[in-house]
A and B are shown apart, each in its own frame.
Chain A
Amino acid sequence: MAENTEPRIGVFLCHCGTNIAGSLSIEDVVEYAKTLPYVTIADQYQYMCSTPGQKKIDDAINEHNLTGVVVAACSPRLHEPTFRTATKEGGLNPFRFEMANIREQNSWVHMHGMWEEATEKAKDQVRMAVAKAARLEDLIPKSVPVERAAMVVGAGVGGMQAALDLASAGIKTYLIEATPTIGGRMSQLDKTFPTLDCSQCILTPKMVDVGRHPNIEMMTYTEVEKVEGYIGNFDITLRKKARGVLTPDEATAKGIVGGGCNGCGDCSEVCPVIKPNPFEMGMAPRKAIYIYHAQVMPLIYTVDFDSCVKCNLCVDVCGDKKAIDLEMQDEFITVKVGTAILATGFDLISIEEKREWGYKQFDNVISSLEFERLICASGPTGGHLIRPSDGKTPMAVGYVLCAGSRDNTGGVAKPYCSRFCCMYSLKHAHQIYEKIPGCKVYLFYMDIRSFGKMYEEFYYRIQNEGAKFIRGRVANVLEDPETKNLHIYSEDTLLGRPVDVEVDMLVLAAAIQPKEGANVLRKKFGVSASQDGWMLEAHPKLNPCGTTTAGVFLAGVCQGPKDIPDTVAQAEGAASAASIPIHMGEVELEPYFAMCIEDLCAGCGMCINLCPYAALDLTEKNGRTVMVVTEAKCKGCGTCGGFCPGGAIKMQHFTSPQIAAQIDAFFAGGEQ
């Protein structure tokens, strides 16, 4: 196409059924568009995104020899790719397409009694889009090779599944875990609902698979320090936290033959420092040199340098293995990966801040995760359910469901449903009946949400086992100072009367929130947060694993509360999505790079410091100093172009003449 020919623009309005046509006059806007400069054809269709709709674009390009296409329809964030493809199929460069968002930003927000105003706004939007379309240029996307490796951050059940899937598809996978062992929350659970599988029994084979897989490089006690690069070429710097203990491989590398930690535990035996074990929710001790539990993967001890007194007893007992190095420092390593999956999971909220339920005020009020450890055969009590105050077997246990979930009172409370608390509370009731015949269980609930496969059936089963369901929020909990029993005050909303239930022990099914540090991590990867704080998916329905950062995907609870089956399913989805660019071998980057207009560049270098990606440099050309862009590093934000005092930086697809034309076009509409 000759560059100097007059622009010929085609405008296409979409009715979107009645979504658009129900709120503004398509007819008026089409007629108006025909009067605009450069517009050669203006047309309309029920659904522009349908095959006949797209064919209209294709045909018009050929029939009218168009140089640009405008579709006034939904958001470009939804259908820009569709119409770019249609534009391309008509024989034009796909970047000669511009969208006017007359649905999300017009018909849907000006719905009632706003017909005239919405029509006027649509005319303005089309006029502005045409002004830009007339100045669009051919752009060629840049293809970049994709590193044949992936990273999964977080090694809970979701992260492990994603890593296993990627690795089994032949992709080198780095599995990063902040704690000393993989396994995550699921390894803390005793049983899983509704099948009552032993959680560890179904999880440990996966942990072993991860440990053995030749394509997985498991990096525990490691955190993401810095993320640079873009899809296909992320350079991720990891902080390998000082563990104080050498693995056999590390020992061999240091020339200690046959050395390194073999997990014998002699060091822990002699260590004089005792600390609470966070894996056991602080209910069991660990030493300053420790493992979380017997099934850890890798079976390597870790020194807690915050509490180590450097007495060297462990070093002595370790002897010739020379596994312990109390002078170890954090190490930084950089790995290159093509794609990454975040699977950081969750924490319980600080439920003690809901003072009315007495957590941390009364001995016998515990959280649901503490209950999991108390009922677990590998837990601190060997699976004997006892109450903390006196070690007696409880004969009446209360449950507060939605403890901080579905709660709009602010503070630590969360407006959302944490999704799995109903089901694990039912499971807990069953476990109590199994272990303590004759024990009474009272569940205070708002609604029982048993939404999954075989979940409702499980609910009936627990009802038949004798659990008492009291529909009402718990207003207050008080302790009998003599017996340490608890009085639960609530209203039975089905009977319409207040209740006071005395129990030996109370379990709070606490709400969940994003894992500590997840907020910092997501920002490193450029991932947004939803209003509720969880990581934001690219599209809630159609792209639940993707994010707005190309090449970064989400798995599991970090994206929003979900149970184990949903977490594993999303992890497999994320792994599949993350493997696609790697298997394709190269990806196309949107060609929105900065370009230096060398005739205008004075070589002042102000742009160099503005660039967050170090994509700009100064260079000598024809005896002058000018700026030069490294396209592979440029992500197209335009921060340089927005500042250049000489207007010497051209931001492709968002050039100053294009934006200026849009501004002109807005005000060319005159007074409304």
Chain B
Amino acid sequence: MADEWKPKILAIICNWCSYAGADLAGGARIQYPPTVRAIRVMCTGRVDMLFILKAFVEGADGVLVSGCHFGDCHYLEGNFKAAKRMFMIKSLLRNIGLDDRRFRMTFVSASEGAKWGTVMEDVTNTVKELGPSPIKEFKK
């Protein structure tokens, strides 16, 4: 049933800011939808564009990459370099006919537990609005 469909969303998040922010959300018992599964990397700079494309090919309804705010990167500028790539991902998704709102990069610091909760809500709502990924239809 359509309203029981739960989106599958993958998050690739950096150890120093967003993962810590997500931990803080946990500590503060901020409740958010259980739609997202996270993979921890040391820096969003590590995120190969192929990881994101792979996730979509495997059936992700949405993908989130989240790192430190600009200027706050633990590795100086990894998040800048990641962000540049993420623009490419967005344009690529548009070109293959996938709504680029299914992919998002956010910046959540280690002290922004509440913001992590908001991001989770927001990403989930956006993906829910868009419905299941059309790629899954091809795979059937």
Question: Shortest beta-carbon distance, B57 to chain A, in Å?
Answer: 9
Question: With the chains together, A612 CA to B8 CA distance in Å?
Answer: 34
Question: With the chains together, A548 CA to B39 CA distance in Å?
Answer: 20
Q: In the bound complex, do residue B31 and residue A112 qualify as a contact, i.e. CB atoms below 8 Å apart?
A: yes
Question: With the chains together, A549 CA to B39 CA distance in Å?
Answer: 22
Q: In the bound complex, do residue B81 and residue A108 qualify as a contact, i.e. CB atoms below 8 Å apart?
A: no
Q: In the bound complex, do residue B10 and residue A663 qualify as a contact, i.e. CB atoms below 8 Å apart?
A: yes
Question: Shortest beta-carbon distance, A455 to chain B, in Å?
Answer: 29
Instruction: Answer whether residue B107 sits at the interface, using C-beta atoms and an 8 A cutoff.
Output: no
Q: Which residues of A contact B22 (CB under 8 A)?
A: 104-105
Q: In the bound complex, do residue B34 and residue A117 qualify as a contact, i.e. CB atoms below 8 Å apart?
A: yes
Question: Shortest beta-carbon distance, A642 to chain B, in Å?
Answer: 5
Instruction: Answer whether residue B64 sits at the interface, using C-beta atoms and an 8 A cutoff.
Output: no
Q: In the bound complex, do residue A121 and residue B29 qualify as a contact, i.e. CB atoms below 8 Å apart?
A: no
Interface residues on A, range: 35 or more
**Contacting chain B: which of A185-193, A569-577, A651-659?**
A651-659
**Contacting chain B: which of A137-145, A212-220, A528-536?**
A528-536
From B6, B17, B58, B76, A667 is in contact (CB under 8 Å) with B58
- B interface residues, tally (CB under 8 Å): 53
Q: In the bound complex, do residue A529 and residue B25 qualify as a contact, i.e. CB atoms below 8 Å apart?
A: no
Q: A109-B31, A667-B58 are in contact. Are A592 and B16 (CB under 8 A)?
A: no
Q: Which residues of B contact A128 (CB under 8 A)?
A: 37, 39
Q: In the bound complex, do residue A666 and residue B10 qualify as a contact, i.e. CB atoms below 8 Å apart?
A: yes
Instruction: Answer whether residue A448 sits at the interface, using C-beta atoms and an 8 A cutoff.
Output: no
Q: In the bound complex, do residue B60 and residue A667 qualify as a contact, i.e. CB atoms below 8 Å apart?
A: yes
Question: With the chains together, A549 CA to B17 CA distance in Å?
Answer: 12
Question: With the chains together, A671 CA to B12 CA distance in Å?
Answer: 20
Instruction: Answer whether residue A202 sits at the interface, using C-beta atoms and an 8 A cutoff.
Output: no
Q: Which residues of B contact A40 (CB under 8 A)?
A: none
Question: Shortest beta-carbon distance, B60 to chain A, in Å?
Answer: 7
Instruction: Answer whether residue A473 sits at the interface, using C-beta atoms and an 8 A cutoff.
Output: no
Instruction: Answer whether residue B99 sits at the interface, using C-beta atoms and an 8 A cutoff.
Output: no
Question: Shortest beta-carbon distance, B68 to chain A, in Å?
Answer: 8
Measured CB to CB, the nearest residue on chain A to B115 is A531
Question: With the chains together, A433 CA to B6 CA distance in Å?
Answer: 69
Q: In the bound complex, do residue A548 and residue B74 qualify as a contact, i.e. CB atoms below 8 Å apart?
A: yes
Question: With the chains together, A549 CA to B50 CA distance in Å?
Answer: 30
- Chain B positions 63-84 with a Cβ under 8 Å from a chain A Cβ: 68, 71-72, 74-78, 81-82
Measured CB to CB, the nearest residue on chain A to B29 is A108
Q: In the bound complex, do residue B46 and residue A651 qualify as a contact, i.e. CB atoms below 8 Å apart?
A: yes
Question: With the chains together, A610 CA to B81 CA distance in Å?
Answer: 8
Instruction: Answer whether residue A206 sits at the interface, using C-beta atoms and an 8 A cutoff.
Output: no
Q: In the bound complex, do residue A118 and residue B43 qualify as a contact, i.e. CB atoms below 8 Å apart?
A: no
Q: A110-B34, A114-B34 are in contact. Are A638 and B41 (CB under 8 A)?
A: yes
Q: In the bound complex, do residue B37 and residue A666 qualify as a contact, i.e. CB atoms below 8 Å apart?
A: yes
Q: In the bound complex, do residue A528 and residue B17 qualify as a contact, i.e. CB atoms below 8 Å apart?
A: yes
Question: With the chains together, A511 CA to B8 CA distance in Å?
Answer: 46
Q: Which residues of A contact B111 (CB under 8 A)?
A: 528-531, 536
Q: In the bound complex, do residue B77 and residue A110 qualify as a contact, i.e. CB atoms below 8 Å apart?
A: no
Q: In the bound complex, do residue A531 and residue B75 qualify as a contact, i.e. CB atoms below 8 Å apart?
A: no
Question: With the chains together, A110 CA to B34 CA distance in Å?
Answer: 7
* Per-position 1/0 for B106-138, Cβ under 8 A of A: 000111100001000000000000000000000
Instruction: Answer whether residue A111 sits at the interface, using C-beta atoms and an 8 A cutoff.
Output: yes
Measured CB to CB, the nearest residue on chain B to A124 is B37
Q: Which residues of B contact A124 (CB under 8 A)?
A: 37
Q: In the bound complex, do residue B41 and residue A121 qualify as a contact, i.e. CB atoms below 8 Å apart?
A: no
Q: In the bound complex, do residue B71 and residue A641 qualify as a contact, i.e. CB atoms below 8 Å apart?
A: no
Question: With the chains together, A641 CA to B50 CA distance in Å?
Answer: 12
From A120, A531, A635, A659, B41 is in contact (CB under 8 Å) with A659
Q: Which residues of B contact A659 (CB under 8 A)?
A: 12, 39, 41, 48, 51
Q: Inter-chain contact count A-B, CB under 8 Å?
A: 156
Question: Shortest beta-carbon distance, A541 to chain B, in Å?
Answer: 11
Q: In the bound complex, do residue B72 and residue A529 qualify as a contact, i.e. CB atoms below 8 Å apart?
A: yes
Q: A109-B31, A125-B37, A664-B58 are in contact. Are A639 and B75 (CB under 8 A)?
A: yes
* Per-position 1/0 for B32-54, Cβ under 8 A of A: 10100111111101111011001
Instruction: Answer whether residue A662 sits at the interface, using C-beta atoms and an 8 A cutoff.
Output: yes
From B23, B47, B48, A77 is in contact (CB under 8 Å) with B23
Q: In the bound complex, do residue A643 and residue B85 qualify as a contact, i.e. CB atoms below 8 Å apart?
A: yes
Instruction: Answer whether residue B55 sits at the interface, using C-beta atoms and an 8 A cutoff.
Output: yes
Instruction: Answer whether residue A637 sits at the interface, using C-beta atoms and an 8 A cutoff.
Output: yes
Q: In the bound complex, do residue A612 and residue B32 qualify as a contact, i.e. CB atoms below 8 Å apart?
A: no
Q: In the bound complex, do residue B38 and residue A105 qualify as a contact, i.e. CB atoms below 8 Å apart?
A: yes
Instruction: Answer whether residue B92 sits at the interface, using C-beta atoms and an 8 A cutoff.
Output: no
Measured CB to CB, the nearest residue on chain B to A592 is B42
Q: In the bound complex, do residue A75 and residue B43 qualify as a contact, i.e. CB atoms below 8 Å apart?
A: no
From B37, B41, B55, A654 is in contact (CB under 8 Å) with B41
Measured CB to CB, the nearest residue on chain A to B77 is A612
Question: Shortest beta-carbon distance, A131 to chain B, in Å?
Answer: 10
Question: With the chains together, A106 CA to B110 CA distance in Å?
Answer: 18
Q: Which of B43, B46, B58, B111 has the most CB of A within 10 A?
A: B46
Q: In the bound complex, do residue A104 and residue B26 qualify as a contact, i.e. CB atoms below 8 Å apart?
A: yes
Which residues of B pack against A, CB within 8 Å? 6, 8, 10, 12, 15-17, 19-20, 22-23, 25-27, 29-32, 34, 37-43, 45-48, 50-51, 54-55, 58-60, 68, 71-72, 74-78, 81-82, 85, 109-112, 117
Listed from nearest, the 9 A-B pairs whose CB atoms lie closest are A104-B26, A638-B46, A639-B45, A637-B75, A637-B43, A667-B58, A108-B26, A531-B111, A612-B76
Sample of 14 more A-B contacts, CB < 8 Å, known A536-B110, A639-B82, A656-B48: A78-B23, A104-B25, A109-B25, A109-B26, A128-B39, A528-B110, A548-B16, A638-B42, A638-B46, A639-B75, A659-B12, A660-B51, A666-B8, A672-B8
**A–B Cβ pairs within 8 angstroms, 23 of them:** A76-B40, A103-B26, A105-B22, A109-B34, A117-B6, A528-B68, A528-B72, A528-B110, A610-B81, A613-B75, A637-B46, A638-B41, A638-B78, A639-B78, A642-B45, A651-B46, A656-B50, A659-B39, A660-B51, A660-B54, A666-B10, A667-B60, A672-B8
